[in-house]
Each structure stands twice: as C-alpha cells, then as structure tokens.
Amino acid sequence: MKYSLNAAFLLGQIIGFSSFGGISASVAEESLLLTASTSSSSGGVRGRNNKNNGDDSRWIPHPTDNRRRRLKMDNTEDCLLVLKVMDYEDHSLDHDVWACEFPYDVAQRNFNGNEFMDIEGILPTQVLEEMKPESGACLLKTKGAFVEESLDTMEMKLVIPTNNGTDVDVEVLDESHPRHYKQRRMKQQRALRSLADSRPGSRSVLVVRVVDSGGRAGSSVAQLRDDIFLDGFSLKTGYAQCSKNQMIIEPATGNNQIQNGIVTVNINVPASVGQQSLQTVAFNAATQQLGSLSAQWDLVMFCQPGDGRWLAYAFINSWASFYNGLWCNRVSAGMHEVGHNFGLGHSNEDNFEYADQSSMMGFSYDSDDGPKMCFNAAKNFQLGWYERMKQSYYPLNNINRSTNFVLVGVDGYRTSGDTQGKLVTLRVVEDGDRNGRDYYVGYNDATGVNSGTLEGRNQVLVFQKPSGGPNGYGTSDRIAELNVGNSYTIRNLSNQVDVTIRFTSVGNGGRDANVEIVTSGDGPPAPVPAPTRFPTNFPTQPPVPSPTRFPTNFPTQPPVPSPTRFPTNFPTQPPVLAPTQAPNNDLPVCNAEDESGVVFRKPRGRSRNKKCKWVRNAKNLKTAEKRCNKSYEGASVQDRCPVSCGRYAGVGSCAFLFEEGLAGSKNKNRGNKSPILPIFYNGAAVDESPPEDDEKKEENYYN
C-alpha cells in the first residue's frame, strides 16, 4: 500500500484541503522539511567535519544564502518513519514528533552518521496521522528532494520543494520486509540465540554513558550498572519479574570497550548545547567507536549529562532511547522508555496524559528502586507475556447474556500447568480487529511484583484503548475503578448494546476477582431488503374498492354527541390554592443521603477535595459514571453520594432516580433563569445550584 502527495497537490496552496490516494491532507506552506541537527566530531557546532559527508563535489551553493549549501538526494534513498515521544518534567511541554530513520550506511555517507532526523515543516503530524502510518512499519520516499545544510550550526534539512516532478510517498511495509520492525526483532533474536543466549524474549541492551566537554556525566559506571542491571527492582529485574522471566534484559557484549553492558563516550561540546544537538553528537561518537549500533544490539540507552527540563524520550517500535541526567538511573523512566521501544503508548486517566498511576506507562518517578509495579490490562494484552491467561470477549456475540470471569493480577500468571480458566487481562472487543477502539479489564492485585502500584490497588480496573487494536501502538485511558459490588457500564458499544462490568466478589484469599459481564440490547438492526431490479407490475385490480358513483346519504345521527348550545356554568368554587411546597408523594424517594463532606480527593490541581456536587457538575453521563466509580479511603463515590450518582449516572442503590440527559445539563444551561426541579431523599431536597466559577474552571481542566 502506498499513499502519495505530489507537486500538483502542493503547489500554490497556502491553506486548503485536497485528496490524494484516498488521503485528505491540509497544506500550509510551500515545501516539506525533514530536519535534524548534525555536528562536527572535532569542533561541535562551531566547525565542520567532511569525513562522513561523502563527495563534497555533490554540494552546490544555496541560491540566496552563502551560509547554506544543498545536496540533491538520490531518488532511490528513503527512510523508515518512526514516532519520537518526548517526555518533559513539565508534562504540558510533552509532544510527539514523526522522524526518519536512515540506514546506517546512508547516514555515514551523507549525514555525518546521523541516522534519525525529525520531520518538520509542511509534512506535519496531522498529514501523517491522516495517512495512519505505523511507527517502524512505513517508508517515506521522495523524488526531487535535496538536503540543505547550515555551515554555521551544521543543521541539515531534507527539503521537498513544491515544483513539478516532486513526489512524496508513504509506503506501508509488509511484515516480511527486512526493514519492518518485526523482522528486525526476529533477526536480532536469531543472532542472539546463535551467539550466546537461547532463552526466549532476550534483549541485549547497550548503555552509552556520555561525558561532555566539561567532564560532566549523568552518573558513574558503577551506579548505572546497579540501577539498570543489578538492583532488586531495576530495568533488568523489573522486566523479568513482570513477565515471569519471559523478557530477559541482558547487558551488551561483543566489544572490549564495553564493560558490564556500559560504554563511555566523550564528546567535545557542553551538555548545554541543547537536547537535539546533544543527541546527534553522542550518537555520532558512539557509532565512531563501535560501528552500527542497531546491527549489534537490540536496545541502546543514551545516558546524557543533565541539562534542561526534558526528562527522556524514545522511538516507538525502534531501538534507541535518550535520558537526561539521573533519569537514566530511575527504574520507572527506563521501563517507560523501553516500553515505547516495545510499542507501548502512554497510560492516561480521564484523558489526562500519564495520570494512570497504576502502571509504568504513566508518570515516571524520581526513585532508583521503585515504585514496584508493572503494566495495565491494555498493555498486558499487547505485550504477549500472558498468552495462556488472556481472552477476547465479543459482546455482539453475547447479547442479553451474562458471563462470569475470574481475574488475577500479574503476579498470579502461570507459565505452565493448569490456569483454572483464570485471566490476567480480558479484552472487551468493539472495533479493535480493525485497529479501532477496544476495552480492557484487569485486576490490579497489589502483591508481589505489583505490590507498589500507586492507584487502583486491589480493584478491578477498566481501560479504553481508542486506537491501535490489541497489538498495535496506542494510548490507554483508565475509565473505571471498581470495588466489590461496584459496576461500570459501557453504553451503546458499537451503537448497539450496553455492556455492564460488575465486580461481584473476591476469592482465594483476595488473589482472585470474580467479575460478571452482562450485555444487553437489541443487537444490529434488521437489514433493509434490497430493491427489486425492475418495478413490479401494476395491479390488475385497484388496491381499494372504487368509490360509489354518488356520495352516500348523510348519517341520521351525528357520529359524536353534539355540543351544548352554550358553555356550562363556571364552578361555584375556585380551584384549590397552589401548593406552598412541591408535593413529593409522586416523586421517587431514595432512602439514603448524600454525604456532606469530602467524597474524593484528586492527586493534583487547585480544587482537589470533591463533594457530591462534583458528580452533579459532570459535563456528561460518561464523566458522571466515572466519578461515581472512583473510590476514596476505602469507599466508592457512589456509596457516599447515592442520590447524586443515582440521578445523574444511573448507578448505585438509588439508580432508579436516573434521568436520561440530565448529566451535563446544568453546565449547558448555566445562566438560564429557569429553576431546576429538586430531587428528594427522605423528604428533603438536594442542592441543585449551578457550579461555581472555580468548579467550572476545574471541570474544564480535568475533562
């Protein structure tokens, strides 16, 4: 499969939409830029080393700027598209960037050894997203492009001009293609088995310790060895424990410059030169010492001197990750970034990125030994470590049925023997077989290797994965945390059914979670019969009896009694007085009360302490349900706010109070002077006033 953009599409368009090869794209510039930073091996960004830039005669002066020059690209050269996920200590700065990975020999010949280049300019993220490339599985090909280099900063750009003869193609690789990330992994595993290690799932890891021109390094060799390979919970031991010894991290070998999996490289620029330049200089120094890195080791971790506010970043379905200072020593950062290399996306909650603190793909933590936890149910299904204890449930094949499951935590996985039908991860299928949305259910048992999980401890957790299907890259969003007796309903799944997930009980000393899933609905609508090929024959008889020749006689009696000649007398007594208080004998009564105090506490934000009004102020039904399913200090919100959760979310002991469309109505109608009818419990009305300004601001922040 190949998607194309050509000059006829790009030329003359400043802002507009068009379609090429079935792909809709927005264009806002004159050219496409693939940018990267390169550096001198001897003078940093101040000098230029032509050693690896091939034949200088191929370069020509820039037509208007004598401090830049150009190199026309060979039409046969292409690059592998990979997604770079940038993580910062201030997560508002986080962003993803599509990048190009060039083959080692092409990078050495033309780009001073730089194999990765960020994509910027008019081939933006939104255009690529519409093409839906898979990181590590698509080639970017260009015709009529050239490289532009700054002689001052050594920055290089791959410029794709909008003139005749310029084309940009994105080619989706077959999984059997040697450059597809799956084939590269298989090749590396075959090499490992033939050389040294026969254990399945082994990954060789090279740690590149970078020392800058001022002698600064992020950490010592001994400390890196302890924190990455030796500690009781490190990158190596953490992956081994979470996978039940199916994913084995091995320190790199094969070169006498490498000691205990670590090589030190010295660069002659300060760390303050900037994140992108530091990446390029360190990468070039490592390849000059060791040759092609990806051809020799599965994963390469660059531990760089600390500078700036970035935390770490990695390439999805690739092999390289980069760390700022001591973040290379933090087990959560290492497992997180290597998780990106394995194809995992971030773990979110309430659409707040990283906020799922039940697993390692959420936040990273400034600790070299913890927190001791693994991954969530969506990632566990994708990783492939729990094949004997995972299952896909198809609601559309189980309409109006109830099905029971027994879930266990990751520590309960059995690599052999009888699994007793228990599951580590359960997939509720919606559209994931076409790389669309699915749901995942898991028991976050806080024991063993998962004893340090920070959220959802010993609860059944429900996740949504909007894209990527069961095995592809995609973020997950935690949407429910269930205690025993709680339930969560996925409404209108596939626009056909409701799916209710209920945590019914625990067993086996708290190690097993018994879960019931009920699917209710009418299923898909009956298909409309196809129209006949030709119109049917006219009927030989009229469809109804022909009318009589003349009208029939008028009826002798009127069909209904005739009205009286005059209105009846007014009543002698006026109507009863209007009630001074709305009657409640006809309204539903809930024999429970909302608590008046704090029912939930958020981990961050200006307005952290939440009362029952938090449920009533939800912007929609889904948010109200999620809030009611949260827990605080051992009790769920729906138990603390039975009236509000019943009326606004349709859950809990007062679910009969539920009114469709009520959730979110107060925010929509804010400022409307029409009164809102009260609801009652034990004869008293619940405060239904609109949210205050600070609550509205907080609502927008979290939802």
pLDDT for residue 70: 84
Alpha carbon 584 to its chain's center: 47
pLDDT for residue 218: 94
Of 613, 563, 594, 615, the residue nearest 684 (C-alpha): 594
pLDDT digits (tens, 9 = 90+) for 32-65: 444 443 333 333 333 334 344 455 677 889 999 9
Percent of the chain with pLDDT strictly greater than 90: 44
Task: Please tell me which residue, 259 or 574, carries the higher pLDDT value.
Answer: 259
Which residue in the block uniquely carries the two structure tokens 């839906």? 132
| Residue 565: both structure tokens together | 């000649």
The pLDDT confidence band at residue 667, using thresholds 50, 70 and 90, is very low
| Residue 593: both structure tokens together | 């009360």
Mean pLDDT estimate for the chain: 78
pLDDT for residue 185: 62
Task: Please tell me which residue, 284 or 217, carries the higher pLDDT value.
Answer: 217
Which residue in the block uniquely carries the two structure tokens 């109804």? 544
Residues 325-363: b if buried by 16+ CB within 10 A, e if exposed: bbbbbbbbbbbbbbbbbbbbbbbbbbebbbbbbbbbbbb
Q: Which residues contact 177 (CB under 8 A, 6 or more apart)?
A: 183
User: Alpha helices, DSSP H only, in 262-329?
Assistant: 275-290
How far apart are alpha carbons 513 and 310 in whole angstroms? 40
| DSSP strand pairing (425-429 vs 512-521) | unpaired
Task: Please tell me which residue, 692 or 68, carries the higher pLDDT value.
Answer: 68
Mean pLDDT of 288-314: 95
How far apart are alpha carbons 471 and 175 in whole angstroms? 14
The one-character DSSP state at 44 is B
Domain chopping of the chain, boundaries: 2-172, 181-343, 377-521, 600-702
Report which secondary-structure segment, H or E, holds 168.
Answer: strand 167-172
Residue 259 phi, psi dihedral angles, 5° rounding: -120, 120
How far apart are alpha carbons 208 and 287 in whole angstroms? 11
How far apart are alpha carbons 657 and 269 in whole angstroms? 67
Three state DSSP letters for 267-282? CCCCHHHCHHHHHHHH
Report which secondary-structure segment, H or E, holds 7.
Answer: helix 7-10
pLDDT digits (tens, 9 = 90+) for 317-337: 999 999 999 999 999 999 999
Q: Which residues pair with 320 in a beta bridge?
A: 300
pLDDT for residue 56: 67
Positive or negative torsion for Cα 136, 140, 146, 152: negative
For residue 186, pLDDT over 70 is answered with no
Mean pLDDT of 635-648: 89
How many helices (H) and strands (E) are present in the chain, helices listed first?
Answer: 15, 35
How far apart are alpha carbons 81 and 135 in whole angstroms? 6
How far apart are alpha carbons 314 and 359 in whole angstroms? 18
Mean pLDDT of 300-328: 95
The one-character DSSP state at 486 is -
Report which secondary-structure segment, H or E, holds 35.
Answer: strand 32-37
Mean pLDDT of 447-471: 96
Task: Please tell me which residue, 579 or 202, carries the higher pLDDT value.
Answer: 202
Task: Please tell me which residue, 389 or 23, carries the higher pLDDT value.
Answer: 389
Which residue in the block uniquely carries the two structure tokens 């890259």? 473
Strands (E), 546-686: 600-601, 609-610, 631-632, 635-636, 680-681, 684-685
Q: What pTM did the predictor assign?
A: 0.70
Which of 49-58, 96-105, 227-236, 484-493 is predicted with the least confidence, judged by mean pLDDT? Answer: 49-58
Report which secondary-structure segment, H or E, holds 119.
Answer: strand 116-121
The pLDDT confidence band at residue 526, using thresholds 50, 70 and 90, is low
